[in-house]
Structure 1
Amino acid sequence: MNELDALVASASQAFSAAGTPVDLENAKAQFLGKSGRITELMKGMATLAVDEKKARGAVINTAKQAIEAALNARRQALADAELERQLRSESLDVTLPGRQRGEGGLHPVSLTLERIEGIFGSMGFSVAEGPEIETDWFNFTALNTPADHPARSMHDTFYVEGGAADAPLLLRTHTSPMQVRHAVQHVKRHRAAIDAGQAMPEIRVIAPGRTYRVDSDATHSPMFHQCEGLWIGENVSFKDLKVVFTDFCRTFFERDDLVLRFRPSFFPFTEPSAEIDIQFASGPLAGRWLEVAGSGQVHPNVVRNMGLDPERYLGFAFGMGPDRLTMLRYGVSDLRLFFDGDMRFLRQFQ
């Protein structure tokens, strides 16, 4: 075995003994580095004749290529060994069930709102939406509740910056402002026909949404939901209110034995006015009267604020609390549970 064959064998043995990439690079430096054995052999050719340099250079290059081949083979072997180790340590059992993303669900109050919209939609009512930051005029004055009206004390609320001194802004205390907002836009669209004495298409709309008042206990929340309803036409009466709301309640609770009571009351935007109570014939609430809504014939002043003649157009309005309806439907005793964010409670409705 000549000198170069021995060098190749020595390099192969050193590379095979390297157990890590770092050890392998150190072994490489001994043979192929700037001060390595191959480099020293190349430097030694400086004193040789030209013909001898060609012959000597050829055999040294052959040895260098053999050493590089051995080096690359060991690098690949170490990489394969590392991959095998990772595969063993990070093995995946493909027979296990996959990790699925949990399915979400609607909030119980959202379920109730969808149910309300669906039932009234089947009766021909459309859904109106409006701003939660409302003007004093739409929230109070247009609904026959001027600044000096005692009923305003029942609507202690949150005022916000940005309004004028004579037109303050507030978080709406009910969704009733949408009655006037929707009616005003409806009348504008049909003003020419109304002025010509033609019949105006009826206004039949519900307005669900969030409302705000300074109130908080087991049955009240500073933020709560309301759903207002409005039906205005030339031949709409209190009888229609009773039929519509009775049908709604019996459909919502899926109880044909549900009894409704319209109890005289007062609201500044309706005259006459009535609280609506319901009574279940069976179940844990059997025999008890439960208040679920306020209602009445739309007050003539409100009809005027809509841009209509109260001598020709009349109708009814009602307002109910979807939060309370949700509590009754699912047997929840504390309103605050809906807004605490406790997933244990909310998952029951998914």
Structure 2
Amino acid sequence: MQSDILQQLEDLRQQAITALTSTSTTEETRAWHSEYLGRKGRLTGILRSVGAVSPEERPRIGKLANEIKTALEEALQERQTAIEQAELEAARNKELIDVTLPGRPQTLGKMHPSTRTLREIADIFATMGFLVYDSPEVETDEYNFQLLNMPPGHPARDLWDTFYTTTPDVVLRTHTSPGQIHAMRQYAPEPIRIILPGKCYRYEQVTARSESMFYQVEGLAVGKNITFSDLKGTFMNYASQMYGEGRKMRFRKHYFPFTEPSVEVDIDCVICGGKGCNICKYTGWLEILGAGMVNPRVLEYGGYDPAEYSGFAFGLGPDRMTMQKYDINDIRYFFSNDVRFLERIG
């Protein structure tokens, strides 16, 4: 009986080693352990018959069984280590990057069309010596109106539907013109040439052609012997660079409280060439800006002596210009956060 059990144990050792050698995955080694060394495994099955052996023979069988169990567990550990290493190497090789393959295309962001127009305007005026000047979007009533020749009760204030804040006499600027006063008081009595791009706010009904928040570019030139001819020459140069050479231009008299005289400037429609279309309302002309010679009182508020200095100012609407340039029929697209709009314009 003893010899039979000993032989069974030796046979089990050989069979287990052979089976273990053929395993190639972690799952297979777990199945092997369950078959040979588990609680219901083959080694346990053989040892159940030890009870029928005499007490004198049991120590030898027990010793051999422990030797076999220890050897098989060590062999299993080595095999599992080798398999894990192989699986790790396979995973690494699978994840290796082939640097010879073409790279994945990157989706790049695009500049907002209003920003592109603002930068183009700044570049054009930079060639004429104008610097960019930043001014605050939140203003006092004094800077937004009073120092621009619109005292309390002035009827011209009705032209701007103003956003007032909970702080008395503090408003969201309705135009970039208050920046003129900031700039003049900073640089007076030195001559200046600046543009002031930025956002403005007015309480208006939002439609395809108007928004309550929009961009504006203010311009200001102050110095000695500046005349209306300088204003006209500046705009003719600007129109040629922005819209192309050979643009026709007309000046229409207008009223602004902070300039005197004041004009609105039109160019022949860049869409229809002056023949008339829905963009120019079939007039053949597109309004591009309002301008005029700086009112002497505003010059004085800014720190300049109007008897010695003169200047001109103007205001551009870059959003409308962008709509004309890119054939955009609804200004609300600018703030709709629709990526398809940027992709189409880009």
Q: Do these two structures clear the TM 0.5 threshold for a shared fold by scoring above it?
A: yes
Q: Which of the numbers 184, 208, 211 marks the counterpart of 2:200? A: 211
Q: What is the match of residue 187 of structure 2?
A: 186
Aligned partner letter, 1:284: C
Change over 3 Å in CA distance of 1:91–1:143 after alignment to 2: same
Q: What is the match of residue 107 of structure 2?
A: 102
Q: Deviations over 1:278-305 (max 9, x none)?
A: 114x751424122111111111121121
Q: Report the alpha carbon displacement of residue 318 of structure 1 after superposing the two structures with TM.
A: 0.4
Change over 3 Å in CA distance of 1:231–1:27 after alignment to 2: same
Q: What is the match of residue 216 of structure 2?
A: 226
Secondary structure of 1:250's counterpart equals helix
Q: What is the match of residue 194 of structure 1?
A: none
Aligned partner letter, 1:247: N
- Aligned 8 A contact 1:226 1:322 in 2: yes
Aligned partner letter, 2:250: R
d(CA) in 2 for partners of 1:203, 1:93: 59
Q: What is the match of residue 28 of structure 1?
A: 33
Q: What is the match of residue 241 of structure 2?
A: 251
Q: Deviations over 1:55-79 (max 9, x none)?
A: x969955762354214532564488
Q: What is the match of residue 338 of structure 2?
A: 342
1:259-298 alignment to 2 at 5 Å?
A: 259-280=248-269, 283-287=271-275, 288-298=284-294
Change over 3 Å in CA distance of 1:70–1:341 after alignment to 2: closer
Change over 3 Å in CA distance of 1:33–1:276 after alignment to 2: same
Structure 1 unaligned spans of 5+? 188-199
Q: Which of the numbers 130, 141, 156 marks the counterpart of 1:136? A: 141
Q: Report the alpha carbon displacement of residue 172 of structure 1 after superposing the two structures with TM.
A: 1.1
- Aligned 8 A contact 2:24 2:83 in 1: no
Q: Deviations over 1:185-235 (max 9, x none)?
A: 113xxxxxxxxxxxx431110001111112222221111111000001121
d(CA) in 2 for partners of 1:245, 1:186: 24
Change over 3 Å in CA distance of 1:295–1:322 after alignment to 2: same
Secondary structure of 1:228's counterpart equals strand
- Aligned 8 A contact 2:25 2:83 in 1: no
Aligned partner letter, 1:73: R
Q: Report the alpha carbon displacement of residue 10 of structure 1 after superposing the two structures with TM.
A: 4.1
Secondary structure of 1:267's counterpart equals coil
d(CA) in 2 for partners of 1:307, 1:86: 73
d(CA) in 2 for partners of 1:26, 1:289: 87
d(CA) in 2 for partners of 1:201, 1:7: 105
Aligned partner letter, 1:250: S
**Matched residues, percent identical?**
39
Aligned partner letter, 1:312: E
Q: What is the match of residue 160 of structure 2?
A: 155
Aligned partner letter, 1:271: E
TM-score normalised to structure 1 length: 0.78
Q: What is the match of residue 280 of structure 2?
A: none
Aligned partner letter, 2:174: T
> Structure 1 residues 145-154 or 94-103, which shifts more?
94-103
- Aligned 8 A contact 2:26 2:83 in 1: no
Q: What is the match of residue 74 of structure 2?
A: 68
Change over 3 Å in CA distance of 1:211–1:283 after alignment to 2: closer
Change over 3 Å in CA distance of 1:4–1:227 after alignment to 2: same
Q: What is the match of residue 190 of structure 1?
A: none
Q: What is the match of residue 279 of structure 2?
A: none
Aligned partner letter, 1:65: A
Q: Deviations over 1:65-111 (max 9, x none)?
A: 354214532564488579869989x9999987432221221111111
d(CA) in 2 for partners of 1:248, 1:22: 77
Q: Deviations over 1:110-135 (max 9, x none)?
A: 11111100010010000011221222
d(CA) in 1 for partners of 2:73, 2:13: 6
TM-score normalised to structure 2 length: 0.79
Change over 3 Å in CA distance of 1:64–1:343 after alignment to 2: same
Q: What is the match of residue 127 of structure 2?
A: 122
> Is 1:321 the equivalent of 2:326?
no
Q: Deviations over 1:124-165 (max 9, x none)?
A: 00001122122211111111111211111111022223x2x3
Q: Report the alpha carbon displacement of residue 332 of structure 1 after superposing the two structures with TM.
A: 2.8
Q: What is the match of residue 302 of structure 2?
A: 306
d(CA) in 2 for partners of 1:309, 1:74: 93
Q: Report the alpha carbon displacement of residue 240 of structure 1 after superposing the two structures with TM.
A: 0.6
Q: RMSD between aligned alpha carbons?
A: 3.9
- Aligned 8 A contact 2:175 2:201 in 1: yes
Secondary structure of 1:120's counterpart equals helix
